[in-house]
Amino acid sequence: MIGKTGGHDDTIVAIATAPGVGAIAVIRLSGPEAIQITDKLFPAKQLAEQPGHTLHFGSLQQYGRVIDEVVVSLYRAPKSYTGEEVVEISCHGSPYIQQQILEACITSGARMARPGEFTQRAFLNGKLDLTQAESVADLIASNTAASHQTAMQQMRGGFSRELFALREQLIKFSALIELELDFSQEDVEFADRSALYTLVNEALAEVERLVQSFKAGNVIKNGVNTAIIGRPNAGKSTLLNTLLNENRAIVSDIAGTTRDTIEEVLNIGGILFRLIDTAGIRESTDTIESIGVQKSLEKMREAGIVLYLFDVSELSVDELLAQVREFDKEGLQFMLVGNKADVLGFEEARAKFSLVPGVIFISAKEHGHIDELKEKLVAHVIGGAINTENTIITNVRHYAALQEVYAALRDVKNGMDNRLPGDLLALDIRRSLHFLADIAGEVTNEDRLDYIFSKFCIGK
């Protein structure tokens, strides 16, 4: 078991900017020899004598050969991202120049950084807790306003503060209950059971909220596969084109035009929907079309949500109810979308399918009620409005640990309901504290840390 024991004793280097050609690239060094190694390559100034948080312009050289004109940024320990001596070399963005500088730093005593090693050192040196460190990777990967805001909220310590406040209160009660064990012969209670009961109920409500937020958090972070399913000529390709505002799929009156799946990504309200336009589901003797139908069924079962699109004029109420039973049998998340309602008439369509709850009526061709469909789609996958100012769980590791915390707190509450002795209550409180500490990385092992940080990009 390890906590924040401090960083490593060697100096690491990596290219911190994205690969490829650009105007500027940044090479980052961190470790006890970062400044001395750069000094060997930067004759313009004695960097070791310069204060931290300063910039220095000059040529970077090796063996008397000028590699590039650069700007060197100095960050002295502990006031740096990693808590160590850090140097960032801003050079021209030629991949050749980047590689030459990287090789010069390695020749001068640095070693190549592993993926996520800069952030891992920041964690080990107490600059970030583990939840904040993990949010760095989420921030880099964010591609919508919602995923960006959620990652920023966690990186700034919003989640950490909630965990800290909860732990502090539980630790206080745990200490008092365990103190009672030293006076077990005198039958005294130092911990106010009513106050503990109130605390546990409040903690349960907060942990439950965090656990429930994972449904929205997972969608915000990863998006959701959305399969558009229906019979041939229900208007699936037209709906895809309408949602994307472009002619991405071929539209034809000939049934079975779509032979393969077409996938596109659409951002609706900060959520990424990977829309999958599938071949129409029907019996077919055409070999290629049959393969397309089979792929459609596979995509339907893999999707996070299924949009079942049907022609309101052609499908009967009994057929739609049979389809709903089939979806329920498969355990699928689905939405029923009645298309071509402008042809039959929206009021007539609603009256026809009044026995089937939750149907959304649209006209994909005429863009009728498409905004309503988008709103219902977002609400369906996240279960309500997104408030990124609140803590939203996006990490599977946090979600699993919070489920353990919730189970432990439930046991504490049940124990008090059944008037269990203090030693048994203390065990369950300690169990909840253990998993809270595990989330923040205060109790973990080195192999697990290596796994977590290995998923970061090199240079971060």
- Provide block-wise average pLDDT over 10 residues at a time, the chain (460 residues): 56 91 94 96 93 95 94 95 96 95 95 92 88 79 73 74 82 72 54 75 88 81 85 87 68 42 79 78 43 57 85 93 89 91 93 93 93 89 62 84 92 86 82 86 70 78
Alpha carbons 389 and 153: distance in angstroms, whole number: 7
- pLDDT for res 196: 77
The β-bridge partners of 111 are: 12
Residue at 23: amino acid letter: A
The DSSP result for 335-388, as a single string, is: EEEEE-HHHH-HHHHHHHTTTSTT-EE-BTTTTBTHHHHHHHHHHHHHSS---T
C-alpha Rg value of the chain to the nearest Å: 29
DSSP SS3 for 72 = strand
The β-bridge partners of 258 are: none
- pLDDT for res 295: 58
Mode of pairing for the β-strands spanning 305-311 and 334-339:
parallel
The β-bridge partners of 271 are: 268
- pLDDT for res 255: 43
The DSSP result for 142-157, as a single string, is: --SHHHHHHHHHHHTT
Strands (E), 200-260: 224-230
- pLDDT for res 182: 56
- pLDDT for res 72: 97
For residue 78, whether the previous peptide bond is cis, meaning omega lies within 30 degrees of 0, is: yes
Dihedrals φ, ψ of 132, to 5°? -70, -40
Name which of 386, 358, 383 is nearest 269 in CA terms. Answer: 386
- pLDDT for res 378: 85
Residue at 399: amino acid letter: Y
- pLDDT for res 166: 83
The DSSP result for 54-119, as a single string, is: EEEEEEEEETTEEEEEEEEEEE-TTSSSSSS-EEEEEEEE-HHHHHHHHHHHHHTT-EEPPTTHHH
Q: Name the DSSP class of 257.
A: -
The β-bridge partners of 437 are: none
Alpha carbons 152 and 31: distance in angstroms, whole number: 27
Is 331:304 a contact under the CB 8 Å cutoff? no
